């Protein structure tokens, strides 16, 4: 089972940015946490982070024919990017949206999620555990429904 874990703008700055919202732990510690989790569950994960919308779309497109599923935290592009929504629809892989914070209990503009329209499930508001739940959910989904291709 091979998955892409894609993170959007400013996720590389967690541990520095708005600690009251995103916590004290760094992006490097998120990577370690996810690598260990994927290793334990025998998941081959490829990690990608970019601050650019186009590069995130390139990463989603690269998943086509290379991955069985996608976990994505599009960060602020969640609330603006029809292009990321279209890319997720185009590759048509099972995708899960993740957020560290609860986007439904913050500013009104964060309540809109375009990628959610192409995702089988969303996990938010649980910090690193949002990613953990997404990985375990995707694993179970792929085991139940089979891997694409
Ligand atoms: C975020 C929530 C977004 O609204 C915000 O723009 C981010 C991070 C989260 O993980 O909680 O950058 O995606």
Delineate the domains of the chain, giving CATH numbers in brackets. 2-145 (3.40.50.9100)
State the catalytic residues: 22, 99
- 117 φ, ψ to 5°? -70, -15
**pLDDT at residue 146, rounded to an integer:** 85
Position in ligand 1 atom list of the atom nearest CA 124: 11
Mapped onto helix, strand or coil, the DSSP state of residue 48 is strand
Query: What six digits make up the tokens of 127?
Result: 């910090």
Beta carbon of 38 within 6 Å of any ligand 1 atom: no
CB 130 within 8 A of CB 123: yes
pLDDT at 143 over 90: yes
pTM of the complete model: 0.97
Q: What is the pLDDT of residue 149?
A: 64
**Quick check: CB of 73 below 6 Å from ligand 1?**
yes
Q: Residue 56 C-alpha to ligand 1 middle, in angstroms?
A: 15
Which of the listed residues 99, 107, 122 should we mutate to test ligand 1's pocket, taking the one with most ligand atoms within 8 A of CB? 99
């Amino acid at each position: 089972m091979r998955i892409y874990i894609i993170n959007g703008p400013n996720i590389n700055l967690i541990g520095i940015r708005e600690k009251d919202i995103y916590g004290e732990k760094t992006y490097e510690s998120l990577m370690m946490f996810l690598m260990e989790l994927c290793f334990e569950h025998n998941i081959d994960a490829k990690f990608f982070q970019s601050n650019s919308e186009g590069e995130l779309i390139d990463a989603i497109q690269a998943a086509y024919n290379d991955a069985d599923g996608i976990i994505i935290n599009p960060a602020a592009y969640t609330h603006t990017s029809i292009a990321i929504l279209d890319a997720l629809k185009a590759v048509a892989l099972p995708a899960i949206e993740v957020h560290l914070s609860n986007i439904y209990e913050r500013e009104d503009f964060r309540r809109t999620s375009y990628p959610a329209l192409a995702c089988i499930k969303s996990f938010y508001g649980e910090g690193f555990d949002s990613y953990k739940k997404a990985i375990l959910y995707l694993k179970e989904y792929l085991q139940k429904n089979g891997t694409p291709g």
